[in-house]
Structure 1
Amino acid sequence: MDSNHQSNCKLNKTEKKFLRKQIKARHTLLRHEGIETVSYATQVLVVANGGLGNGMSRNQLLPVLEKLGQVDALLMPPNKPYSFVTYKTIEDSKKAYATLNGQKIVDDLGQKIILYLNFVEKVQWKELGLQALPPGLKVVEEIISSEEEKLLLESVNWTEDTNQENFQKSLKHRRVKHFGYEFHYENNNVDKDKPLPGGLPEICDSILEKWLEKGFIRHKPDQLTVNQYEPGHGIPAHIDTHSAFEDEIISLSLGSEIVMDFKHPDGVTVSVMLLRRSLLVMTGESRYLWTHGITPRKFDSVQASKGHRSGIITGDVGNLTLSKRGIRTSFTFRKVRQTPCNCSYPLVCDSQMKEPPPSFPESNKEASQLEQKYVHRVYEEIAGHFSSTRHTPWPHIVEFLKALPSGSLVADIGCGNGKYLGINKELYMIGCDRSQNLVDICRERQFQALVCDALAVPIRSGSCDACISIAVVHHFAIAERRVAALRELVRLLRPGGKALIYVWAMEQEYNNKKSKYLRENRSSQGKKEELNNDLPMQELFVEQMPDMGIQNLASSVSSISDFQKGRYNLRKVANSKLLIHTNRTSFHSQDLLVPWHLKGNPGKEKPTEPFGPAGTHDPSPVFHRFYHMFCEGELEAACQTLNNVSILQSYYDQGNWCVILQKV
């Protein structure tokens, strides 16, 4: 028996568990961040779980590290769950490695976090390039006095009679109140013919006049939304509706500072510090093109040096720490627009869209027509670009296919570019898709594929050992057609055959973790359109938080029964318009249109007919695909309406609800 084996035998359970966790942290860093660890001692250590992204501040971590040796540098990348420490000598870093590895440290929330350290040759963090505020954005500090702040906060009565028209609105994550005009969140607009009585609070009038005189603003607003945020709460990234308000959007921060994130459609993100009593003014590009939002968290990454000012949070990883949030109240002023918007950004302007968004379908015929225009024809146009973003198979789908017996006949219904058709060479797989162009791509790759509708697959009943339906059923516009698509899958199966089904989830934040869709921030537009194509880096909460792997929810009957009892309000307002979703943000409606920004359409000079805001002469048209976002329990409930079906497993997989069913 060699010495290594003897050493391993002497490890107790706790030590073995620690080693597994350390190895997991090492592999996660390598796979998702490209951080390569080494097995020999160096002066530099990567500290997993010791980062700003999981609540560890510089003031907490640095003293712990300094106790073990002279620290040359502590680099803490913004919003990452790890940091880098460089010691003066290798002996000091070896001491830190031996002492701190597996040790618990308390974060700013009072939670115990276990640190996992690994040696690295060098700090492998890409510094952010020079950034500037989005064009048209300005921040004015100390715009009001502390006395004016107090009067403004006192002017909002959160407990007034709820029978009055101007009453408190309670949203899921914040308290909201409207003045002048009520903002309707169901359509992101205001009713211009129904102003609220009383107008804006009287104290606002003199303050707004002062801002006008000093040139801070150009127009006097007539609408005010007051939001109150508790620590840990935020607001999804969004663009204020073009047709609802004039160019200038202004927001006053009271009570506490906050970091607001601005994101360009190409993926560039700029984090802006809004100090207490500062004014944010959005005009032009920053108002019309960039989304703005507040990430729900209890701490913000800010400059560690004293006297940090409003403005950009830089990527200086040697000068970042955490700032604890307090209760913040924002006064957001707007001027209601009385004429259509004629801004310079027609691709994202609802006033300049070539055609208005469609209404929600009320019949099978209307649903079929909507799918034809906003699913079938769109995929024909974007097939080449879509295929270029679909290359990495999902692990759980690969696992399903590789577990099937050799020689099984498997149908991939809605196969796209065929990325799953060649996963298991021991299977006989046939793909089908509604898009001729996608099927042609499959055939170019030497896969068996045919064109057909998922509601009428030309394969004999009971002939398939297994079927997969990945990201297809959510494209059907009404519940009856979604159930019909599931029923068609079951028809193809032999008794005992299995089907795997994936659909987009309404819940893009699940078990306190965001899906890759929300966390994606790529500068390449082609890659930016790719949804959930690779597993993202999970925060390294290896002790505090369970993994988001497959969960057997089939036994969780409560979620299914809650759905069947009407837990989710799925009724549609007659003639209601479908909302157009803002990419990389949470979903606020189950039925909506999701934009696809076409880049480099292979084989075509330009699309034959753009949908939504795209113009025929625009080099980068925008198409819209219809989606129905499934709530938790909804897919299982739909499957349980089918005859001769048993749900073997259901789980959540990075922004998707998934079911494995068996024909009995």
Structure 2
Amino acid sequence: MGLPRFGRPKGFEGDSSPNLYVANCGPAVGLSYDSIASVFSAFGELKGVFAADDSGARVIVSYRDESSATAALEAFDGHPCPDLGGRSLHIRYSVIQPTSQVNDSVPVSLMASELNIPGLYLLQDFVSIKEEEELLAAVDARPWKSLSKRRVQHYGYEFCYETRNVNTRRKLGELPSFVSLILERISSFPNLDDSANIVLDQLTVNEYPTGVGLSPHVDTHSAFEGFIFSLSLAGPCIMEFRQYAECAWLPNHTSSPSMKMQSPEDDKSFLRRAIYLPPRSMLLLSGEARYAWHHYIPHHKIDLVKDSVIRRGSRRVSFTFRKVRTGPCQCEFPQYCDSQR
């Protein structure tokens, strides 16, 4: 289950609540969730300890009953707590925020096989820590292009965000030498009989600051062929996959790739899957995963993975490798294909 939605304690008009908003407490000030739970559990059974916000310095301590929360508040509010590094805690009651919206979280898997999406693969530790450092140093030595919320670099061909396509008549050159090792390993990627014949000629490097994600999208069928490889470096993230029942987000006329599309967010009927991408892991989208599922990175600073709270790093850098398509797409998913609609 996802993180509960707690209301801010400002303006709370109740005498008490089983939930406590605790400031000056959390991973950002050197206190683990386990250590916090251990101290507060002395006053009663806990439902859990949750992040109150993205700061890492404020938590919600949730009890089974109100009397336990009251006892903890009276004992700790405004007083140093020896078992929590001597920190003075600032505590108020909090409440779970009622909502009629669909929960915006989805259970997160650690393995691609758990998602049951054909063509989706994830290899962990695809590069070593030393190789990761060298790759990051290589791109940081080159100029970045700033977008609204992130920075990018393009190699081989430049991706045009306005048309969601590439200009095949304007080649930037060969892929840089610092990714040669990655390309060599991709050529022997397991589970794909024809992976050795893959010739990748386009690379986009994305740098995501903390809390910045990616809107739901399918890489344009007519722009790229059937294999998309994405290497995650520096920081972790959650990637969600969505398959929409309707295809209103596709342009009606393939002759105009720049046509404005309806946002997939307007369609609330979709299947959802999510996977955790640790640093140095390589994700492959192929077949149905590439052609028929939107992929999406939620705009979070904190993710819940198997009941563990994972803070995103100060940056995440992805290397996405693709093969530019030179003709129309003839995939097996015409309902999602801009070439076949």
After TM superposition, list the pairs within 5 Å mapping 1:223-234 onto structure 2.
223-234=202-213
Counterpart for residue 74 of structure 1: 48
The partner residue of 2:154 within 178, 181, 187 is 178
Say whether the 8 Å CA contact 2:206–2:317 is kept in structure 1: yes
Q: Give the alignment partner of residue 146 of structure 1, picking from 112, 125, 129.
A: 129
Q: What is the identity, as a one-letter code, of the residue corresponding to 2:184? A: E
Of residues 203, 213, 220 in structure 2, which corresponds to 1:241? 220
Question: Could you tell me whether the CA contact under 8 Å between 1:57 and 1:322 is conserved in 2?
Answer: no
1:259-278 aligned within 5 A:
259-265=238-244, 266-278=269-281
Q: Distance in 2 between matches of 1:183 and 1:220?
A: 18
Unaligned runs of 5+ in 2: 1-7, 80-88, 97-102, 245-268
Are the counterparts in 2 of residues 299 and 325 from structure 1 also a CA contact under 8 Å?
A: no
Using the TM superposition, give the Cα deviation of residue 294 of structure 1 relative to its aligned residue in structure 2, in angstroms: 2.1
How many angstroms apart in 1 are the aligned matches of 2:181 and 2:10? 64
1:347 aligned onto 2:338: no
Distance in 2 (alpha carbons) for counterparts of 1:298 and 1:65: 25
1:208 alignment partner, SS class? helix
Distance 1:210 1:117, change over 3 A: closer
CA distance in 1, matches of 2:312, 2:123: 22
Give the Å deviation of 1:264: 2.5
Equivalent residues of 1:174, 1:229 under 8 A apart: yes
CA apart distance, 1:177:
0.6
Q: What amino acid maps onto 1:193 in structure 2?
A: R
Q: Is it true that 1:208 corresponds to 2:204 in the alignment? A: no
1:231/1:207 CA distance change after superposition, 3 Å: same
- Evaluate the alpha carbon distance shift between residue 20 and residue 326 of structure 1 in structure 2; reply closer, same or farther with a 3 A threshold: closer
Q: Is the 8 A contact 1:300 1:325 kept in 2?
A: no
Asked which structure has the greater RCO (Cα within 8 Å, sep 6+), the reply is 2
Aligned equivalent of 1:192, options 168, 180, 196: 168
Residue 79 of structure 1 deviates from its aligned partner by 9.4
Taking the aligned partners of 2:191 and 2:177, their CA distance within structure 1 comes to 20
State the secondary structure of the residue aligned to 2:157: coil
* Aligned position for 1:301: 304
1:225 deviates by 0.3
Amino acid at match of 2:145: K
Name the amino acid aligned to 1:184: C
Give the aligned residue type for 1:62.
A
Change beyond 3 A, Cα 1:75–1:291? farther
Question: For residue 232 of structure 2, what is the amino acid of its counterpart?
Answer: S
Please list the CA deviations of residues 596-616 of structure 1 after superposition, one character each: whole Å capped at 9, or x if unmatched. xxxxxxxxxxxxxxxxxxxxx
Task: Report % sequence identity.
Answer: 33
Q: Measured at CA, do residues 275 and 322 of structure 1 come closer, stay the same or move farther in structure 2, by a change above 3 Å?
A: closer
Per the alignment, residue 628 of structure 1 pairs with none
More strand by share: 2
CA pair 45-173 structure 1, distance change in 2 beyond 3 A: same
| CA distance in structure 2 between the aligned counterparts of 1:148 and 1:299, rounded to whole angstroms | 26
Going by fraction, where is helix more abundant, 1 or 2? Answer: 1
Q: Which residue identity does 2:162 align to in structure 1?
A: E
The alpha-carbon distance between structure 1 residues 296 and 128, as it changes in their structure 2 partners (threshold 3 A), is: closer
Match of 1:334 in 2: 322
Q: Which amino acid aligns with 2:12?
A: Q
What residue is the counterpart of 1:320 in the other structure?
A: 308
1:172 CA displacement = 1.4
1:256 alignment partner, SS class:
coil
DSSP 3-state at the match of 1:329: strand
SS at match of 1:155: helix
- Structure 2 SS opposite 1:273: strand
Segments of structure 1 that go 5 or more residues without pairing to the other structure are 1-17, 27-38, 104-111, 120-125, 161-167, 304-318, 354-664
Q: Aligned AA for 1:226? A: V
Distance 1:19 1:182 in 2: 48
Match of residue 295 from structure 2: 292
What displacement does 1:46 show?
A: 4.2
The answer to whether the aligner puts 1:21 opposite 2:16 as a matched pair is: no
How far apart are the structure 2 equivalents of 1:194 and 1:297?
A: 36
**Cα deviation per residue 1:524-569 (whole Å; 9 max; x = unaligned)?**
xxxxxxxxxxxxxxxxxxxxxxxxxxxxxxxxxxxxxxxxxxxxxx
Q: Do the aligned residues in 2 keep the contact of 1:226 with 1:330 (CA within 8 Å)?
A: yes
Which residue of the partner structure matches residue 62 of structure 2?
Answer: 85
Cα RMSD (Å): 4.1
Q: Residues 177, 232 of structure 1: CA spacing in aligned structure 2 closer, same or farther, 3 A cutoff?
A: same
1:477 aligned residue:
none
CA 1:347/1:169 → structure 2, altered by over 3 Å: closer, same or farther? same
- The structure-2 alpha-carbon separation of the partners of 1:94 and 1:269, relative to structure 1 and needing over 3 Å to count, comes to same
Give aligned pairs, total: 277
Q: Is the 8 A contact 1:255 1:276 kept in 2?
A: yes
Alignment CA distance shift 1:271-1:75 (3 Å): farther
Question: Residue 249 of structure 2 corresponds to which residue in structure 1?
Answer: none
Equivalence for 2:139: 156
1:113 and 1:175 map into 2 onto residues whose CA distance is 38
CA–CA separation in structure 2 for the residues paired with 1:57 and 1:239: 38
